[in-house]
A and B are shown apart, each in its own frame.
Chain A
Amino acid sequence: SQTIHQWPATLVQPVGSPLSLECTVEGTSNPNLYWYRQAAGRGLQLLFYSVGIGQISSEVPQNLSASRPQDRQFILSSKKLLLSDSGFYLCAWSHPSGQFFGPGTRLTVL
């Protein structure tokens, strides 16, 4: 069966510090992968998606970037965090019956 992992689970970072969140998928090959952010009290916003290694599409201009160095690895990064980057970051992969989410990383920028 397929599983999706994210780490860390929680993170507290100062403004201006770098960020690296990792997502890995097991049990499937060449998945479509997605990064979403859910700000407090708001809906999910699609940030990036990837259909293959090295292929990244950005949905909204922002302070973040994404990379896909391996088939089942998706990384979300920032060089300098802003207060507005705080939120719940979710990685997802696609299956014909829907998209499935990892457990998420809760990021607080102070």
Chain B
Amino acid sequence: RKEVEQDPGPFNVPEGATVAFNCTYSNSASQSFFWYRQDCRKEPKLLMSVYSSGNEDGRFTAQLNRASQYISLLIRDSKLSDSATYLCVGNAGGTSYGKLTFGQGTILTVHP
């Protein structure tokens, strides 16, 4: 079983829609999690950090459920510019200085 698993999608949604991605992790020692977005042929860029039960930043909300070992990312009022691959990332080291484990990514396409 992979340490971090995501639904690869693709998710195709219209502008203005709300979309949610789920991610599960197998390492119960994982302390912190991150969501990155990666545009085609570009480097991943940090979107949100998730250290406790959740985090919200504008249209983006990340939630962490340690009992069920899953993390979610909710995007409200989708924009065309949200089209990208979203990477779920776990860190068993307890801080960002540890080694990260990346999911395969979920592809999102927002259409007009």
Q: Are A43 and B41 in contact (CB under 8 A)?
A: no
In the bound complex, CA of A100 to CA of B100 (Å): 12
Write the residues of chain A forming the contact surface with B, with a CB cutoff of 8 angstroms.
32, 34, 42-44, 46, 49, 59, 88, 90, 94-104, 106
Q: Are B95 and A44 in contact (CB under 8 A)?
A: no
In the bound complex, CA of A17 to CA of B95 (Å): 38
Tell me which residues across on chain A come within 8 A of B87, comparing CB atoms: 43-44
The size bracket of the interface on B is: 10 to 19
Q: Are B41 and A99 in contact (CB under 8 A)?
A: no
In the bound complex, CA of A42 to CA of B103 (Å): 9
Question: Across the two chains, which residue of chain B brings its CB closest to A36?
Answer: B102
Q: Are B97 and A98 in contact (CB under 8 A)?
A: no
Tell me which residues across on chain B come within 8 A of A90, comparing CB atoms: 43-44
Q: Are B104 and A99 in contact (CB under 8 A)?
A: no
In the bound complex, CA of A46 to CA of B42 (Å): 17
Tell me which residues across on chain A come within 8 A of B95, comparing CB atoms: 96
